[in-house]
């Protein structure tokens, strides 16, 4: 996995474009993230964390966070189709470099799940679950 560029570099390279802030799309993304979070929490309550598939946990936590990040980017008047740029934007929101790098690792691992059949264990999924809630506190 290569080094993660700064958000401004993605802008200079054309991966992020300036546009009118899109509050409607941002609101929709926040709603989707909230719905996913509620469903995820219901599953954890009903089945118990131990019964959930670790890959489901990793993917769901990532999806929730990336949708919120994308919403924040849209509210500031940017558009990007690059998950890498969206992760990099966490720096602009005051996240620690270790949190940004962990999220970037998640981004990379999601590709492994989707395209290469990577399977995660419970320990890693617990770490991702804790990361989700820590990030949600900062993203409020």
Cα gap 127→79, rounded to integer Å: 30
Please give the biggest Cα pair distance in the chain: 47
Is residue 111 within 8 A of residue 59, CB to CB? The reply is: no
**Could you tell me the pTM of the whole model?**
0.94
pLDDT tens for each residue of the chain, 140 residues long = 678 999 999 999 999 999 999 999 999 999 999 999 999 999 999 888 888 899 999 999 999 999 999 999 999 999 998 999 999 999 999 999 999 999 999 999 998 898 898 999 999 999 999 999 999 999 98
Is residue 96 within 8 A of residue 139, CB to CB? The reply is: no
Cα gap 2→125, rounded to integer Å: 23
Strands of the chain, DSSP E? 16-18, 78-80
The tokens describing 10, both together, are 């993605």
Q: Exposed, middle or buried, 115 (CB in 10 Å: 0-12/13-18/19+)?
A: exposed
Domains of the chain from N-terminus onward: 21-139 (1.20.120.330)
Cα-trace Rg, the chain = 15
């Amino acid at each position: 996995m290569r080094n993660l560029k700064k958000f401004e570099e993605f802008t200079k390279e054309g991966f992020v474009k300036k546009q009118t802030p899109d509050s409607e799309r941002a609101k929709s993304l926040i709603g989707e993230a909230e719905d996913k979070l509620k469903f995820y929490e219901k599953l954890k309550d009903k089945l118990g964390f131990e019964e959930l598939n670790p890959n489901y946990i990793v993917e769901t936590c990532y999806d929730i966070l990336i949708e919120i990040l994308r919403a924040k980017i849209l509210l500031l008047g940017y558009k990007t189709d690059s998950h890498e740029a969206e992760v990099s934007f966490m720096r602009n929101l005051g996240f620690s470099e270790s949190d940004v790098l962990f999220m970037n690792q998640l981004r990379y691992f999601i590709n492994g799940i989707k395209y290469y059949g990577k399977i995660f264990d419970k320990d890693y999924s617990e770490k991702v679950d804790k990361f989700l809630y820590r990030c949600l506190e900062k993203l409020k």
